[in-house]
Chain A
Amino acid sequence: DTEVTQTPKHLVMGMTNKKSLKCEQHMGHRAMYWYKQKAKKPPELMFVYSYEKLSINESVPSRFSPECPNSSLLNLHLHALQPEDSALYLCASSQIRDSSYEQYFGPGTRLTVT
């Protein structure tokens, strides 16, 4: 199984809502990532988890809260978002070995904040 799954595919939320994005992989990867991608732009790294511990937070606003309950699951909790947070949110996973890492990406969640 070389697949990363993400749910939901689409999400529309108001600025006062609380919602969560979910990501799952069963490849035994011990690194998991959240990226944000705006239209016609490259993915921007938000968070990295290694061995279920947060290792990188790229100065992401606190209205985004990541969680890694176990080695297969990654969540992104959303609260009080702004319209400019509307984007495609991508999850990825990779092995941790030497310096190289081949990231497997999920299909993304298309988020619209109204």
Chain B
Amino acid sequence: LAKTTQPISMDSYEGQEVNITCSHNNIATNDYITWYQQFPSQGPRFIIQGYKTKVTNEVASLFIPADRKSSTLSLPRVSLSDTAVYYCLVGAWTNAGKSTFGDGTTLTVKP
């Protein structure tokens, strides 16, 4: 299983762009990279998933370099409600659903 490493915490201000990087040096060929957001006492919520290059949806972008050993979640123009823990998850269903969450990055958005 790929081990993931993320910064423990990050601070930002409202309206700024936030980039959170996840390192996954031993990612396997079939593995996908998925990011989740979690608020206290709630289940994680899917944000975005990618395999390579760049993926964008209505809430975030995910940048994955060619070697796939890291990935960067980009949140444009954050607001106070984006204060949460963000997890990257690396895995593939072809590994029978096995995957490992990173330790998570606590993002605090200040006014």
Contacts and interface: CB of A to CB of B under 8 A. Distances in A.
B42 to A, nearest CB: 6
B31 A42 contact: no
Contact of B92 (A45, A100, A107): A100
A46 to B, nearest CB: 12
Interface stretch (B15-23, B58-66, B70-78, B99-107): B99-107
Interface of A: 4, 31, 33, 41-45, 48, 50, 55-56, 88, 90, 92, 94, 96-108, 110
Contacts of B91: 101
B111 interface: no
Contacts of B98: 45, 48, 56
Contacts of A45: 98-100
B93 A100 contact: yes
Contact of B93 (A4, A88, A96, A104): A96
A50 B68 CA distance: 28
